[in-house]
Structure 1
Amino acid sequence: MTEHITTPFDAESTAADVVAGIDLTGRRAVVTGAASGIGVETARALASAGAEVTLAVRDTAAGQRVADEIGGTARVARLDLADQASVAAFVAGWDGPLHILVNNAGVMATPETRTPEGWELQFATNHLGHFALTNGLHRFLAVEGARVVSVSSAAHLMSPVVFDDIHFTERPYDPWAAYGQSKTANVLFAVAGTKRWAADGITVNALMPGGIMTNLQRHVDPDAMRSMIEDAGAEGFRLKTPEQGAATSVLLATSPLLDGVGGRYFEDCREALPNDGNMVSGVAAYALDPETATRLWEVTEQTLAR
């Protein structure tokens, strides 16, 4: 591992700050979950720099409202990451080079829910859906080299991937443990994806956007969320605006400072340090372990092939 990466930006920076002066004319981008929250601001920043942005969303009417507001070449396509047929349809509808893929969509702390395949919903949406999407688009990402951005969370510190029971068929369902392992999977995907696709000029990085109150928290009681933050020992922890929350995603998608950089986890617009035991910052060693990343890739391929 080379030296720890810092940038001129920080927790206060916005997506507009980090993309200022960058020209994305002629570049094509996809942002999943771009109809709300930080996805909107991610898409807005990319479009403002001249990129042709596709908003990949479940609710196409909401997505169209965002696209109309953003203007330019923003377009909308339907994508439900929990539905493998929807992922396949999105891939089948894509043509031509793809330069930026921001795997931003996600669900958090949902009640116990299973897909028709029997997969736990959070893992199915946050990891399996994005894995299938990115692999399906691989040939387009490889045309001119691309950046893939995997939106993870400090919640990855809540759980490694529990390979013996990923889908909670043997253990009691815990919404936060399920969310945590799906977010760990997002980081491991960046590690393995960068290794596998380096020869194609594709890099994959993961990130923690910060604490932002968006529609993502719709299954979480606000008082419970505040208590969790306090219990985590997060002194001085401050919520971000959606514009600030999108900054690290946009940095990883666009900044020349990160040319050729992959397989890493960032927070507050810089590479995260190893976690020191708190539950709100830093990266867990198990999330960056290359052997675990390879194992997850293989298990995921086997799961999706069934």
Structure 2
Amino acid sequence: MTTPLTTPFSASSTAAEVLAGTDLTGRRAVVTGGASGIGVETARALAGAGAAVTLAVRDTAAGDRTADDIHATTGARDVTVAHLDLADPSSVAAFTSAWEGPLHILVNNAGVMAAPETRTPQGWELQFATNHLGHFALTTGLHRALAAADGARVVSVSSSAHLRSPVVFEDIHFRERPYEPWAAYGQSKTANVLFAVGATARWADDGILVNSLMPGGIRTRLQRHVSDETLERMRARVGAGAPNWKSPEQGAATSVLLAASPLLDGVSGRYFEDCNEAAHAEPGAARGVAPYALDPEAAALLWQVSLDTLAA
């Protein structure tokens, strides 16, 4: 691995600070899950820098409220709302077919964490279906729009939970092994990193940059299936190295760095945390990137498995 890329920003930086002085006028952005958590602050920072932002959300009423709030706080008028249910292939297809013109920034931010065992009508495990397959279908479905943007950026929001599990190709959907919420979440987040590696290998000639990130620990609705006691127990296990909780504005900072900062021009296929590229994680570590999440062979296999699963 080459020397990790560093920036002037850190865990305490906010999204607005990262984009200070960046002019996104004329650029179009989509933020999935843009009506809650760090998605709101990601969208707010992009809109505040001049981008035309589409909030791709399941709850369009919440999206409308968020769009109004972004307008009130930034003065940005070009914030629109579109329905998107990542666990429903027909919803993803409707979104991609309705999109017209180039797309400069796609932030794959939405997700579900540590959910009870749930399956989509297709029989897919919900976390993998939402966090990976839905975003895979969305991004590949928007490939032409991204390629037309001449320097598009795709941001894949992962998590340090990817350190809990590689993608278990032999039984992705827990049909044979007992379901474990965190293992399911972990492999879906590994898939988010592998997607960036796979897309970089395929789309570099289209000028599309794709990177992944760990936003940090932020208390949002993402943790609605996780008790406060469980979260604190997890932090205690990490011990003295446990990072502090971030505000949503700080949690969105790494996302907007990858989405729009000129500091990342030409950078693709890498994993970031706290606004800097992460080092390889040692076994048992709570930070860094697992080597299996950057494995090009695993990325290629995941790409094919994803195509086959969606086509079935």
Q: What TM-score do the two structures reach when normalised by structure 2?
A: 0.97
Write out per-residue CA displacement over residues 211-250 of structure 1, whole angstroms, 9 at most, x where no aligned residue.
0000000000110111012113353521100000000000
1:251 aligns with 2:257: yes
Checking the alignment, whether the CA contact within 8 Å between 2:19 and 2:45 is kept in structure 1 is yes
Any conservation in 2 of the 1:158–1:279 contact (CA below 8 Å)? Answer: no
Residue 106 of structure 1 aligns to a residue in which SS?
Answer: coil
Cα–Cα, structure 1 residues 245 and 164, in superposed 2: closer, same or farther, change >3 Å?
Answer: same
Which residue among 160, 165, 172 is the counterpart of 1:166?
Answer: 172
Q: CA deviation at 1:99?
A: 0.2
AA at the equivalent of 1:130? H
Opposite residue 250 of structure 1, the aligned amino acid is V
Distance 2:308 2:267 in 1: 28
Q: Return the offset for 1:2.
A: 4.1
The residue number in structure 2 matching 1:49 is 49
Q: Distance in 2 between matches of 1:89 and 1:294?
A: 27
1:137 maps to 142
**Match of 1:152?**
158
2:94 is the alignment partner of 1:89:
yes
Q: Which residue of 2 aligns with 1:214?
A: 220
1:199 lines up with 2:228 in the alignment: no
For structure 1, which runs of at least 5 residues remain unmatched after alignment?
A: none
Determine the C-alpha separation between the residues in 2 that align with 1:267 and 1:234: 18
Could you tell me whether the CA contact under 8 Å between 2:15 and 2:41 is conserved in 1?
Answer: yes
> Contact (CA 8 Å) 1:188, 1:288: kept in 2 or not?
yes
Number of aligned positions between the proteins: 306
- Residue 109 of structure 1 corresponds to which residue in structure 2? 114
Deviations 1:236-277 (A, max 9, x none): 521100000000000000111111100000000000011123
Q: Which amino acid aligns with 2:217?
A: G
Distance in 1 separating the partners of 2:27 and 2:115: 35
- In 2, the alpha carbon distance for the partners of 1:287 and 1:233 equals 24
Asked whether the equivalents of residues 34 and 63 of structure 1 are also in contact (C-alpha less than 8 Å), the reply is yes
**CA deviation profile, 1:77-123 (whole Å, cap 9, x unmatched):** 00000000000010111000000000000000000000000000000
The equivalent of 1:10 in structure 2 is: 10
CA contact (8 A) 1:6 1:270 kept: yes
Contact 1:149–1:206 (Cα < 8 Å) also in 2:
yes
Alignment check: 8 A CA contact 2:215 2:273 kept: yes
Match of 1:68 in 2: 68
Q: Counterpart of 2:74?
A: none
Distance 2:266 2:2 in 1: 12
Partner of 1:302: 308
Q: Contact 1:234 / 1:280 at 8 angstroms: preserved in 2?
A: no
Quick one: which amino acid aligns to residue 115 of structure 1?
A: T
The 5-angstrom pairing of residues 6-45 of structure 1 reads: 6-45=6-45
Matched to 1:136, the amino acid is: G
Separation in structure 2 between the aligned mates of residue 69 and residue 224 of structure 1, nearest angstrom: 32
Relative to structure 2, which stretch is displaced further, 270-279 or 212-221? 270-279
Task: Give runs of ≥4 in structure 1 deviating > 3 Å.
Answer: none
Give the TM-score of the pair, scaled to structure 1.
0.98
**In structure 1, what residue type is equivalent to 2:45?**
A
User: 1:232–1:278: 8 Å Cα contact kept in structure 2?
Assistant: no
Give the counterpart letter for 1:17 in structure 2: E
Tell me the amino acid that sits aligned with residue 98 of structure 1: L
Structure 2 CA distance for aligned equivalents of residues 101 and 234 of structure 1: 35
Q: Which amino acid aligns with 1:38?
A: I
Amino acid aligned to 1:152: S
Q: Alignment partner of 1:188: what SS?
A: helix
Secondary structure in 2 matching 1:63:
helix
Contact 2:235-2:242 within 8 A present in 1 as well: no
Q: CA deviation at 1:69?
A: 1.1
